[in-house]
């Protein structure tokens, strides 16, 4: 793109025509929908016009070009402006698509939704998360830049990440978490453009916002470019150029703008989220000399928008990617030239199936001794990262506790090369959202970890991963009241049910080392959404499955040989499977025959074929579901059958883990008695 810092008169005229065009298109879309946010369309158009015309590197004929610049609209309510820009530069958004803004089934939803083909890398809307996503994207670029060095001076993957943020984004706590980490890591190709208009929905932000955003970001180690006139294209261009010249620090550019520019609502909260109305919109068009219909642009405006657009980068980038020095990454990126979509670019080792078969027999990977599943997971992860440099992640200051500590990898060094392992610090929300950003880039597979009870800190980012179909791996250990002495603040209760209620999220709670390995294999083979690994702190006994390990890949397995010839079924997950097996064995001595099901992943099981589900849920007797957590998600398995859920629907207490576990009803004695009573009730019917 053009790098000069001075605007000629012709460039200034082109800028004005282009910025007026996206303002009118954005406002027209809002008026058509009778819904939207006109204030930012008017106030931030100059910044996005300069950024996209003068600096952004992209190729509309090759939207998935791996080395393209990324843009994240963290203030996602500015979508009407963003769609207008994407249309003008030539992405597959037509004027009719703009007319359908916020309408059912359109390409232009109320907030941007991830679709790389349409120029949108990240779904945004919840304020601040897009900023954290951008930090993740910048981390991905930094990592891949080091891994894709070529025989030439430049790496095959090297780009800038731009994020647009508003006052609300910077008030959110996630902005502190993510940006303090970005400064510590020195992400020099991350540039944040702040729409500093002093207005939020409730009025002037001086009443509730911090006094010095500048000081805050300087303390993080950012370059801060303050006081830039967000309506002066030369000043905007100069500021972005200055930010790009700094390679050792991320940059925050403070663009002073006027919300609702050019209307009588300028500078007021009223224009934030209320359409202008026909009269005010007409007055605005008249004030800027707009003589065309609302959804009409002239060829010279399109020409001005696209004069700096790069020609097709496919051939040039393909040639550069073939010069990558590292053999793994050379092979990894060769698939892009074969037409593989970025959304599905997740490369497993060529001998994947053979490796897993060997690992299942390798006691150093899948132990046949009593082992906590967090440690079983750690053994799998240690083997995986050696084979998959695209597997990258870390922990929120709990690496050893959650089983993701991998000393052989080292850790991401702020002063040196990036690593597959990242110390995120105590930043759960940012960590989850950063992982989402990592997952949008070139098929990287991020994993992040904390205690299950702290999943609440970042649950909205888990939801966003599911909404974007991103294959992020969330590792949650210390999964029940068996945590014990730390007490109810650290004992998860409702968390499993909450996670299972999120659409497109799979929750895996393995019962032993073998199931943990199956969960890892299944999670890595899944590319259309996120997964959770829910793991124990306490040791679990290994379970003998014989040849039925294949069932686990469908989310559930039978651990008995009774088939339909039993009085009922015990359905359990994780640590409760061990307890269910003990209950089965004791009651069998009394002549009460019970099947045992390990429900490794409820979502995977419910999505399996009817034939498989019937083969698992065969018995005509009662069903007793056992899980040390909220019971609410399990009643769907009791429809039309007699049974009960043995769960925990109240907070725990501090004490010895096993004692607390038994106190809440998970002793073998108490569960045996419940099974006997259920059997009697069914027999009386």
| Catalytic sites, residue numbers | 428
Closest CA to 197 of 148, 254, 245: 254
Give the span between the Cα atoms of 69 and 548, in whole angstroms. Answer: 48
State the angle between helix axes of 173-185 and 428-439 in degrees (0 to 180), rounded to the nearest 10: 70
Is the CB of residue 443 less than 8 Å from the CB of residue 390? yes
Angle formed at CA 241 by CA 236 and CA 242, multiple of 5 degrees: 100
Give the span between the Cα atoms of 677 and 378, in whole angstroms. Answer: 40
Give the span between the Cα atoms of 91 and 118, in whole angstroms. Answer: 6
Give the span between the Cα atoms of 624 and 644, in whole angstroms. Answer: 5
Report helix, strand and coil shares of the chain as percent, to nearest 5.
Answer: 45, 15, 40
Is the CB of residue 605 less than 8 Å from the CB of residue 558? no
Give the span between the Cα atoms of 297 and 306, in whole angstroms. Answer: 13
Give the span between the Cα atoms of 384 and 524, in whole angstroms. Answer: 10
Closest CA to 92 of 60, 129, 47: 60
* Token digits of residue 2: 């053009």
Is the CB of residue 418 less than 8 Å from the CB of residue 142? yes
Residues in the chain: 685
Q: In sequence order, what are the beta bridge partners of 372?
A: 539
Closest CA to 387 of 365, 370, 369, 372: 365
Give the span between the Cα atoms of 571 and 173, in whole angstroms. Answer: 40
* Token digits of residue 112: 């941007």
Give the span between the Cα atoms of 426 and 445, in whole angstroms. Answer: 21
Give the span between the Cα atoms of 601 and 527, in whole angstroms. Answer: 16
Closest CA to 518 of 545, 555, 547: 555
Specify the 3-state DSSP secondary structure of 614.
helix
* Token digits of residue 595: 């099947």
State the angle between helix axes of 38-50 and 233-245 in degrees (0 to 180), rounded to the nearest 10: 60
Give the span between the Cα atoms of 474 and 226, in whole angstroms. Answer: 38
* Token digits of residue 31: 């008026």
> Residues of 251-280 as b/e, b for ≥16 C-beta within 10 angstroms?
bbbbbbbbbbbbbebebebebbebbbeeeb
Give the span between the Cα atoms of 660 and 229, in whole angstroms. Answer: 61
Closest CA to 409 of 382, 380, 448: 382
Angle formed at CA 116 by CA 114 and CA 119, multiple of 5 degrees: 95
Specify the 3-state DSSP secondary structure of 479.
coil
290, 292, 294, 298: CA torsion to nearest 10: -100
């Amino acid at each position: 793109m053009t790098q000069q810092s001075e605007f000629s008169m012709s460039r200034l005229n082109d800028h004005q025509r282009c910025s007026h065009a996206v303002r009118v298109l954005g406002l027209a879309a809002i008026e058509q929908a009778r819904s939207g946010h006109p204030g930012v369309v008017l106030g931030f158009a100059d910044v996005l016009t300069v950024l996209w015309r003068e600096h952004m590197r992209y190729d509309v004929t090759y939207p998935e070009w791996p080395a393209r610049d990324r843009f994240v609209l963290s203030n996602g309510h500015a979508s009407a402006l963003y769609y207008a820009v994407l249309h003008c530069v030539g992405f597959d958004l037509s004027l009719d698509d703009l007319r359908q803004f916020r309408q059912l089934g359109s390409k232009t939803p109320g907030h941007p939704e991830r679709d790389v083909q349409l120029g949108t890398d990240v779904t945004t809307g919840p304020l601040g998360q897009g900023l954290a996503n951008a930090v993740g994207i910048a981390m991905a670029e930094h990592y891949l830049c080091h891994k894709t060095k070529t025989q030439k001076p430049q790496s095959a993957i090297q780009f800038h990440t731009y994020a647009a943020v508003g006052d609300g984004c910077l008030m959110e706590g996630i902005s502190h978490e993510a940006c303090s980490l970005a400064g510590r890591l020195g992400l020099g190709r991350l540039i944040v453009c702040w729409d500093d208009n002093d207005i939020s929905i409730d009025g002037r932000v001086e009443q509730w916002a911090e006094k010095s955003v500048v000081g805050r970001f300087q303390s993080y180690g950012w370059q801060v470019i303050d006081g830039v006139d967000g309506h002066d294209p030369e000043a905007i261009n100069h500021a972005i150029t200055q930010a790009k010249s700094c390679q050792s620090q991320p940059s925050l550019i403070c663009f002073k703008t006027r919300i609702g520019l050019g209307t009588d609502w300028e500078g007021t909260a009223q224009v934030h989220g209320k359409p202008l109305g026909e009269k005010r919109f007409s007055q605005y068009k008249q004030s800027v000399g707009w003589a065309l219909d609302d959804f009409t642009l002239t060829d010279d405006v399109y020409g001005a928008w696209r004069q700096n657009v790069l020609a097709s980068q496919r051939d040039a980038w393909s040639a550069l990617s073939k010069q990558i020095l590292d053999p793994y990454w050379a092979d990894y990126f060769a698939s892009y030239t074969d037409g593989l979509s970025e959304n599905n670019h997740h490369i497993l080792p060529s001998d994947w199936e053979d490796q897993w078969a060997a690992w299942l027999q390798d006691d150093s990977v899948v132990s046949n001794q009593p082992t906590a599943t967090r440690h079983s997971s750690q053994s799998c992860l240690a083997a995986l990262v050696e084979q998959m440099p695209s597997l990258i992640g870390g922990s929120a200051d709990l690496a050893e506790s959650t089983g993701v500590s991998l000393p052989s990898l080292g850790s991401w060094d702020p002063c040196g090369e990036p690593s597959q392992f990242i110390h995120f610090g105590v930043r759960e929300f940012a960590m989850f959202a950063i992982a989402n950003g990592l997952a949008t880039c070139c098929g990287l597979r991020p994993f992040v970890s904390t205690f299950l009870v702290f999943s609440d800190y970042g649950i909205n980012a888990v939801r966003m991963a599911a909404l974007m179909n991103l294959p992020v791996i969330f590792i949650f250990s210390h999964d029940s009241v068996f945590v014990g002495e730390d007490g109810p603040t650290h004992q998860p209760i409702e968390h499993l049910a909450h996670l299972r209620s999120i659409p497109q999220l799979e929750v895996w709670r393995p019962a032993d080392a073998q199931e943990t390995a199956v969960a890892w294999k299944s999670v890595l083979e899944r590319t259309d959404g996120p997964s959770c690994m829910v793991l124990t702190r306490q040791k679990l006994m290994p379970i003998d499955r014989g040849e039925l390990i294949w069932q686990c890949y469908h989310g559930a397995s039978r651990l008995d040989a009774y088939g339909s010839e039993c009085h009922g079924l015990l359905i359990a997950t994780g640590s409760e499977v061990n307890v269910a097996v003990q209950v089965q064995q004791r009651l069998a001595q009394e002549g009460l025959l019970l099947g045992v099901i390990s429900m490794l992943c409820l979502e995977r099981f419910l999505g399996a074929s009817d034939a498989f589900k019937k083969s698992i849920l065969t018995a005509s007797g009662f069903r007793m579901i056992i899980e040390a957590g909220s019971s609410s998600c399990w009643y769907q398995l009791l429809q039309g059958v007699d049974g009960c859920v043995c769960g925990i629907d109240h907070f725990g207490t501090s004490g010895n883990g096993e004692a607390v576990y038994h106190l809440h009803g998970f002793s073998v004695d108490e569960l045996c008695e419940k099974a006997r009573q259920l059997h009697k009730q069914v027999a009386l019917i």
